[in-house]
Structure 1
Amino acid sequence: MPRSQDSEERELLGERLRTARRDAGLTLREAARALGVSAGTWSAVENGRTRLSAERLDAAAHLFGTTADDLRGAPAAPPRGDWRDFPPLRLAPPLAGALEAFVELGYHGATIRDVAQRAGLSVAGVYHHWPAKQDLLVALMDLTMDDLRERCGAARAEGDGPVERFTGLVECLALYHTHRRELGFIGASEMRSVEEPQRTRIAEARREVQRMVDDEVLEGCRRGLMATPLPREAARAVVTMCTALPQWWSPKGGFSPEVVARQYVGFALDLVRLAG
């Protein structure tokens, strides 16, 4: 007898739930306990034998660091492609716990138990997918640099000429280090904790962002649009100024990320001595 469409949909949802749970580093029993059901019930859900309520699906999505639409297999919304858009950061629980622990305690001060407590997992649940604390740090660094490079590239591509490209890059850097201040803080404070060979690779990604700014200042000076006698040094000062934002900026302060970004564009243009 052929299976009904409802049965097929339950099985597909169960497979996605199982994959999301494992990606989050949770055992079946840990997930069941967090969601307030028995291990047998959750096993039945993952095997497509039991229907899941919308409320519990939302709870599972939150626990696993994903969305209900993703678990249902709904078509993803087309990317906005806007480097100024910063939706809420969604991380799998082990990474979210690591980010919180590293910001609060420092990489060397935080233990896997600290990470697990903040992630709502057991220590074994974290170790299931993340063999070492170093792996969590490298994953956060990679996530930061991949996102930042993509956004900087998009901001630069929008500009017409070196001044517009430079101001776009500065705005992007300032927005990133306020909207994503926790990731920016880790990126600035814990690079010394990254072990080789990952340190060299991540350092090169950082230099790639710096070179984007260097190139626009050098071109601006070549065209007589900027007048700094020290273009490389000025470019480095601009990037350092932006990456230091997580050290002091807070959403509870008086300036929004957008206001700070406009201020920093002004500071940066003064540094490179915009002509005219």
Structure 2
Amino acid sequence: MSDGCPDKILGAQVRLARELRKLSLRTLAGLLGVSPATLSHVENGKTRLSAVRLSRIADILDFEVHEILELEASPHDRMDASTELRRHPRHDGVELGETSFDWRVYEPLTFDPVLSAALGEFLDIGYHGASVRGIAARCDMSVSGIYHYYSSKQEMLRAVLDYAMGELLRRSECARAEGQDSVARFLLLVENLVLFHTHRRELGFVGAGEMRSLDADNRRAVADKRNLQQRMIDEEVARSVSDGFFRPDSPLDASRAVVTMCTALPSWWRPDGPLSPSRLADMYTTIALDVMRYRSPDRPAPTRPALDRP
């Protein structure tokens, strides 16, 4: 940096790392458990960044600390982002080079062979029944070959759940951004939860059943992301209550009930069943409005755009 201030240089490197991962400042702040203003002060060199917090940021962004410190954050000779992304691939469910995408469209999962095999084992026999040897056999690799990519079965589970939450949060941000008011944003977030937990039902199933299998640090990190997703819904519910559109007796309990009914979909929904993901989204957004006791004297409840509804 031109002024040579260490805090400003480090802040700029953190900002570049965040931008490379295509996370908004608000999202990263939520995952860190700080306010967006605090993170903004860090990125602008106004607040000193502790080693502990830098390590936490690196973990969330899937960088090593030294990789962040090696980023060239000068505005005149900053490294090309697309080149850096190729050096640091990350599974988050969306191509990181994109600036926007259709959050309603789902492509096949792009796990590496080891993680794909691990997901299959977790689905078939559960985390505790799975073994590294079984995962290696499923992807036709040696056990030593597996350890070249993942140090443990625990790391594989954490990678699967990180992928799931990364993709869900990215899609939620895009869905929420389309809403013109709090009720519309609430419905878009509910629709996104339904689509994710049907199109990505395997990830949702493992996420619901294997959180208890994570060690304490991993469980806390994944739970932080889940809490961020819940807060997105909570915020729009609170705004809709304040605006007089929602009238539940207990807004937070109603919000959790709506999220829970969506996250439970992988336990019973099947792709060969009578309900398509889009039709389920229609049903669930209507139910969600009923749960929130939606009333508006001057306009009907918002509707979603027509998609495929067999």
C-alpha deviations, 1:248-274, integer Å up to 9, x for none? 111111111111111111111111111
Counterpart residue number, 2:184 = 164
Counterpart residue number, 1:193 = 213
Q: Which moved more, 1:176-185 or 1:259-268?
A: 259-268
Distance 1:162-1:77 versus aligned 2 partners, 3 A rule:
closer
Aligned partner of 2:281 among 257, 261, 265: 261
Percent identity of paired positions between Structure 1 and Structure 2: 47
Aligned partner of 2:238 among 209, 218, 221: 218
Q: Which has the higher helix share?
A: 1
Which secondary structure state, in structure 2, belongs to the residue aligned with residue 190 of structure 1? helix
Which secondary structure state, in structure 2, belongs to the residue aligned with residue 81 of structure 1? coil
Q: Which runs of 5+ in 2 are unaligned?
A: 1-95, 297-310
Alignment check: 8 A CA contact 1:93 1:120 kept: no
C-alpha deviations, 1:141-193, integer Å up to 9, x for none? 11111111111111111101111000000000000000000011111111111
Counterpart residue number, 1:45 = none
Which secondary structure state, in structure 2, belongs to the residue aligned with residue 156 of structure 1? helix
Counterpart residue number, 1:105 = 125
Q: Which amino acid aligns with 2:111?
A: L
Q: Is 1:240 aligned to residue 260 of structure 2?
A: yes
Aligned partner of 2:162 among 128, 131, 142: 142
How far has the Cα of 1:120 moved from its partner? 2.5
Counterpart residue number, 1:37 = none
Q: Which amino acid aligns with 1:272?
A: M
Which secondary structure state, in structure 2, belongs to the residue aligned with residue 253 of structure 1? coil
Any runs of at least 4 consecutive aligned residues in structure 1 with deviations exceeding 6 A, and if so which?
Answer: none
Counterpart residue number, 1:81 = 101
Q: Which amino acid aligns with 1:256?
A: S
- Aligned-partner Cα distance in 2 for 1:79–1:99: 29
How far has the Cα of 1:77 moved from its partner? 8.9
Which secondary structure state, in structure 2, belongs to the residue aligned with residue 226 of structure 1? coil
Distance 1:224-1:146 versus aligned 2 partners, 3 A rule:
same
Q: How many residues align?
A: 201
Aligned-residue CA RMSD (Å)? 1.5
Alignment check: 8 A CA contact 1:98 1:115 kept: yes
Q: Which runs of 5+ in 1 are unaligned?
A: 1-75
Alignment check: 8 A CA contact 1:225 1:274 kept: yes
Aligned partner of 1:227 among 236, 247, 254: 247
TM-score, structure 2 normalization: 0.63
Alignment check: 8 A CA contact 1:177 1:245 kept: yes
How far has the Cα of 1:80 moved from its partner? 5.3
Q: Which amino acid aligns with 2:208?
A: A
- Aligned-partner Cα distance in 1 for 2:226–2:176: 16
